[in-house]
Amino acid sequence: MTTHEIELKALMLASLDGDAASHRALLEQLSRRLRAYYKGKLARIGRGAAEAEDLVQEAVLAIHFKRHTYDPAEPLTPWVHAIARYKLVDFLRRTRTSLADVPIDEADHIMAHDDNVGAESTYDVRRLMERLPKSMRCSIEAVKLDGQSIAEAADRCGISESAVKVNIHRGLKALAALIAREAGT
């Protein structure tokens, strides 16, 4: 068992015993991890951070309301991962995302096979981002797709924090214009 698993499981057990502070700490730690998980999964299919945040809230609520179903004899993280995965599948079905929108190597892990789910067109964000200047692309990838902080992105891209912020603002505006142009054709 990893240190992380031991810590989370201890918080969950204390939470089940009625320790409100442990419950809050558990949900805060899980929220951070779920946020990274959902941002990564949704970025691969062209979805945004706002949708990831909605999924985090749904998963945290499910964990809160279903905590009585957790078996203390079992590890916690697989139980949490199952809830997170089901919330993701529900979201993808609800938003009518099809298997065609999911990278082939992720399809079996993200979605149940359902050939009746309608397809909706999505833009190839990576292709569009290739049209942006390198530092702008680096800034967006670091912060918006990889979930890094502004400071981490500045180090990664070799520019100032202010430049990262400006690049993200201008880059997202440019991407929106590119998408609008392609949608109009």
37-45: long-range pairs with CB below 8 Å, 24+? 37/84, 38/84, 38/88, 39/145, 39/147, 40/147, 41/88, 41/106, 41/110, 43/125, 43/144, 43/145, 44/102, 44/103, 44/106, 45/97, 45/101, 45/102, 45/103, 45/122
5 lies in the same domain as 71? yes
Residue 28 pLDDT level (bands cut at 50, 70, 90) = very high
Q: H or E segment at 134?
A: helix 134-140
156 lies in the same domain as 75? no
C-beta of residue 84 within 8 angstroms of C-beta of residue 92: no
145 lies in the same domain as 163? yes
CATH code of the domain containing 3: 1.10.1740.10
- Tens digit of pLDDT for each residue in 125-155? 667 788 899 999 999 888 877 778 899 999 9
Residue 184 pLDDT level (bands cut at 50, 70, 90) = low
80 lies in the same domain as 171? no
Q: Kindly state the percentage of the chain with pLDDT values over 70.
A: 80
Query: To which residue do tokens 């590119």 refer?
Result: 178
The tally of domains found in the chain comes to 2
Q: What is the pTM of this model?
A: 0.52
36 lies in the same domain as 61? yes
Structural domain for 32, as ranges: 1-120
113 lies in the same domain as 126? no
113 lies in the same domain as 131? no
**181 vs 111, residue with greater confidence:** 181
- Confidence (pLDDT) at 113: 38
Cβ count near 138 (within 10 Å):
21
- Confidence (pLDDT) at 8: 93
102 lies in the same domain as 126? no
69 lies in the same domain as 152? no
DSSP secondary-structure letter at 108? H
Residue 157 pLDDT level (bands cut at 50, 70, 90) = very high
